[in-house]
Amino acid sequence: MSNSNLFYQEQSNEVSLFNYAFEHELPVLIKGPTGCGKTRFVAHMAEKLNKPLYTVACHDDLTAADLVGRHLIGPQGTYWQDGPLTKAVREGGICYLDEVVEARKDTTVVLHPLADDRRVLPLERTGELLEAAPGFMLVVSYNPGYQNLLKGMKPSTRQRFVALRFDYPSAELEQQILIKEAGADPHLAFKLVELATALRRLEQNDLDEVASTRLLIYAARMIGSGMAPLEVCRCCLAEPLSDDPQTVKALMDVAKIYFD
């Protein structure tokens, strides 16, 4: 289930688009960089809609049984245990597959009959054909920056979804997020967002990823607790973004402009 009173700062019209998809029983795909709020948004919408949320962090070893369920052996013998996808289908909840492109393609094929007008889940091992309960919603997400020829989303899967594109918030919105989420004072929020903007300009030259809103929240919390700002910049921004000592030094040189 989602956390109560979960804070989410809307960036555009994503809330109304998600609501429309929910009302019309349409699956949703969310694209966006690491730490931009995709998972927080889904949790916020589950809370707003008062729906149980089943989140799955996808990875290379994720099997169809991990999603659907499997037979287990207990004191009374063999019994069937639903996986998170099956639970959401039975209960009319939201199943959220985070970084879905990390899952094997033979695993994600199980989503196809749920992501079109059939809205059914075949359970081959039990012989059931589950019809999705009212309110069931399938949501998947991924970071387009990670995509390659081996880990792309199959067109036959992608075209079953309504797609939303996320990005990092505008400077003004990101400052509001730090003030609300991390309890940062406005001046600190302003300086951290200015620093993040400068670091994000380096993406094309030195970095595989840029400073995320999530990392800024961590930094704001640690500075607010009394830790030295430059040490926070090192452990929350520079070191998480690169393993290369020279790149870390370059990032810290930028940080010193704002916090030295």
Q: Output the CA–CA distances (angstroms, integers) from residue 131 to 20, 86, 164, in the order listed.
A: 21, 10, 26
Across the chain, mean pLDDT equals 91
Q: Which of 160, 90, 166 is nearest to 123 (CA)?
A: 90
Please name which of 19, 15, 75, 64 lies closest in space to residue 40, comparing C-alpha atoms: 15
In CATH, the number for domain 14-165 is 3.40.50.300
43, 10 in Cβ contact below 8 A?
Answer: no
- The predicted model gives 245-254 an average pLDDT of 93
Q: What integer is the mean pLDDT of 218-239? A: 96
The predicted model gives 71-77 an average pLDDT of: 90
pLDDT tens digits, 31-40:
999 899 999 9
As a whole-number percent, the residues of the chain with pLDDT over 70 amount to 94
Q: Are 247 and 208 in contact (CB under 8 A)?
A: no
If pLDDT is split at 50, 70 and 90, which confidence band does 6 have? confident
Q: Which helix (H) or strand (E) holds 164?
A: strand 162-165
The alpha carbons of the chain give a radius of gyration, in whole angstroms, of: 21
**Backbone angles phi and psi of 37, in degrees to 5:** 110, 15
The band of 149, judged by pLDDT with boundaries at 50, 70 and 90, is very low
pLDDT tops 90 at residue 58: yes
Stretch 201-227: mean pLDDT: 87
Residue 4 has pLDDT above 60, yes or no: no
pLDDT of residue 146: 62
Question: Residue 151's pLDDT is what?
Answer: 65
Confidence of residue 1 (pLDDT cuts 50, 70, 90): very low
Checking if the pLDDT of 103 tops 60, the result is: yes
**pLDDT score of 3:** 45
Query: Which runs of consecutive H residues, i.e. helices, occur in 24-83?
Result: 38-49, 64-68
- Per-residue pLDDT, averaged over 216-243, amounts to 96
- Residue 62 is predicted with a pLDDT of 92
User: Cα dihedral sign for 162, 22, 43, 233?
Assistant: positive
Angle at 65 between CA 145 and CA 117, to 5 degrees: 70
Q: What is the pLDDT of residue 206?
A: 64
Predicted TM-score (pTM) of the model is 0.87
CA nearest neighbour of 19 among 56, 53, 44: 44
Give every CB contact of residue 9 below 8 A, 6+ residues apart in sequence: 37, 169, 173, 176, 177, 180
Overall average pLDDT of the 180-203 stretch: 92
Pick from 126, 174, 143: nearest CA to 29: 143
Q: Where are the domains of the chain?
A: 14-165, 171-259
Higher pLDDT, 75 or 136: 136
Say yes or no to pLDDT of 19 above 80.
Answer: yes
Helix (H) or strand (E) holding 81: strand 77-82
Residue 245, both tokens: 């000592």
pLDDT for position 156: 82
Q: Torsion over CA of 32, 96, 7 and 217, rounded to 10 degrees?
A: -50
| Tokens (6 digits) for 177 | 């997020």
205 confidence band (pLDDT: 50, 70, 90): low
The reported pLDDT for the residue numbered 238 is 94
Contact 236, 259 (CB under 8 A): no
Q: For residue 39, which of 114, 83, 85, 98 has the smallest C-alpha distance?
A: 98
**Residue 144: per-residue pLDDT:** 84
pLDDT of res. 147: 57
Tokens of 94: 């939201």
- Tokens read off for 154: 């199959």
Sorting pLDDT into bands at 50, 70 and 90, what band is 153? confident
Tell me how many degrees the CA angle 226-229-231 measures, rounded to the nearest 5. Answer: 100
